[in-house]
Amino acid sequence: MRLALAGGRIADLRVALTGTNSRPLRVAGAEAWIGAAPDETLFAAVAKAVQKQVSPMRTTLTSSYWRRSVAGVLARRLVAELAARDGVASDGGAADG
């Protein structure tokens, strides 16, 4: 994940996931959040986008629904944490690319 703030607003936000799909996934549509305030509305939008775009691989350990839900919750928490740190450039080990 990559987050940059400027003047208390989102200047750059990129969300990428690994371990859910068969290959790394960069969440589409994040550019729409540029200029938004880092608030509950944004955090909910990030979680919803992740949940819609992630396609968890089938396993016998956990259901796809549960992993999709967890991915959204974790993305939401990470965006909120990075925003609270006043826009730390990146975290979570995901590729910025």
How sure is the predictor about 94, in pLDDT bands with cuts at 50, 70 and 90? very low
CATH number at residue 75: 3.30.390.50
Quote the pTM value.
0.78
Comparing 30 with 85, the larger pLDDT belongs to: 30
In a domain, 93, yes or no: no
What pLDDT digit, counting tens, does each position of 42-85 carry?
A: 999 999 999 999 988 777 678 888 888 999 999 999 999 999 98
Domain count, the chain: 1
What is the β-pairing status of strands 2-6 and 9-14? antiparallel
Domain presence at residue 71: yes
What is the domain extent for residue 19?
A: 2-84
How many Å apart are CA 97 and CA 87, to the nearest integer?
18
